Amino acid sequence: MTKSWYKNFKWKSNPFFVKSNPNLIGVEKEKELLLDYLDSGNMCFIYGDSGIGKTSMLRWIELKVKGTAIYLDCEGVSNDFDINSYIKAHRSLWRGLFGSNPSNVILLVDESQDSSKELKNKIKLLWESGNIKSVVFSQTDTLDNMSKALKNRIGSRVLRLGKMSNENAIEMIEMRTQGKNPFEKGAMHLISEKSGYLPRKILENCERICIEFSRRGGKKKNIDIYDVENVLGKAKKSYSVEKIIKEELSPMQTKIIDLLKDSGKTANQLADILKTSEGSVGKQLSKLSNLGKVKVLSEKRPKIYGISQ
């Protein structure tokens, strides 16, 4: 049996699996605000691009409220779907497990843009009658497809989930890789850019890159920006490879990179220009070589170093 690609990185399973994950990053303010809305018995609304983390937010609420939340995915719900029976079935399950029905049920309506006007109206009536305490509607679109009555009840309790920052993307990758992160910082920056800063796309691209890196084999241990470019394409001019490299290198390493851009140089020539010892330059060249930033252009002594392409 072929060895699974993720075992080459010493992971027990695929850490980039895109199934919704309640371990949300970078949305602490939104989580607190949402819990306040729900605790007050309100209807509220979440929207954002596909893959931004809306379903993960709803799954986080499920865990947070400990058994009083009912999750409903409207994608593929049939026209004859009975919301009353759906809620009763969940309450019967709770009664069997805990001996009583929860009194403060929260309904989490995912992909609500796919639900009919009739279903939305029934949910509104259940909320108004007190059969459910709170409702969260989640969808990619804005409130435009909601009825005027629903808009009035939701009011200003609208949360938009935005794209990830570079820092949050790196934090997510670090969390997912369980202390065994093969990506260099610059590589993670480039993955974030090429993924449009969307959490799901970042995870998908991390998986693609790791599979390709594992398939190629070789002695390299870390995934750098050139490995990312090999799979996802070149960096945009607005966030160039040179800029990414400089963000992750030490000052001396950055100077060496800049000097080697013009022409190949020996360690001794670099040491003379930088006014340091040849030994110090040699150590930095070794590190840059391991990072895939520098390569030997000529093995003939003294060795000539240049930029890796």
In CATH, what number is assigned to the domain containing residue 202? 1.10.8
Q: How far apart are the first and last CA of the chain?
A: 36
Same domain, 37 and 113: yes
Q: What is the mean pLDDT of residues 263-291?
A: 87
**Contact status, residue 134 vs residue 106, Cβ threshold 8 Å:** yes
Interatomic CA distance for residues 287 and 281, integer angstroms: 10
Beta strand 304-307 pairing with 294-298: antiparallel
Domain count, the chain: 3
**Closest C-alpha to 261, from 250, 282, 276, 246:** 246
DSSP H or E segment with residue 110: strand 106-110
Q: For residue 248, name the pLDDT band (cuts at 50, 70, 90).
A: low
Same domain, 46 and 114: yes
In CATH, what number is assigned to the domain containing residue 101? 3.40.50.300
Q: What is the mean pLDDT of residues 226-234?
A: 89
Answer with the one of 160, 180, 208 that is the final residue of a domain. 160
Answer with the one of 124, 143, 160 that is the final residue of a domain. 160
DSSP H or E segment with residue 59: helix 54-64
Range in 4-13, 82-91, 176-185 with the lowest mean pLDDT? 82-91
Same domain, 35 and 130: yes
Tell me whether residue 274 is in a domain: yes
Using the structure block, give the residue that is written with the tokens 């929207």. Answer: 47
pTM exceeds 0.85 for this model: no
Owning domain of residue 302: 249-307
* Cβ-based neighbour number of residue 304 at 10 Å: 17
**Closest C-alpha to 252, from 298, 293, 297, 301:** 293
In CATH, what number is assigned to the domain containing residue 281? 1.10.10.10
Tell me whether residue 13 is in a domain: no
Answer with the one of 218, 242, 266 that is the final residue of a domain. 242
Same domain, 45 and 101: yes
**Which residue spans within 121-274 are E strands per DSSP?**
134-139, 158-160
Q: Is 67 helix (H, G, I), strand (E, B) or coil?
A: coil
Same domain, 90 and 193: no
Whether 111 shows a pLDDT value over 80: the answer reads yes
Range in 75-79, 96-100, 236-240, 251-255 with the lowest mean pLDDT? 96-100
Same domain, 69 and 109: yes
- The upper half-sphere exposure of residue 98, i.e. CA atoms within 13 Å in the direction of its Cβ, equals 12
> Following DSSP, what letter does each residue of 232-283 receive, concatenated?
H-PPPGGG-HHHHHHHHS-HHHHHHHHHHHHS-B-HHHHHHHHTS-HHHHHH
**Closest C-alpha to 173, from 212, 204, 218, 215:** 204
Same domain, 156 and 32: yes
Whether 269 shows a pLDDT value over 80: the answer reads yes
Q: Is 95 helix (H, G, I), strand (E, B) or coil?
A: helix
pLDDT for the residue 247: 58
Range in 34-38, 204-208, 282-286, 289-293 with the lowest mean pLDDT? 289-293
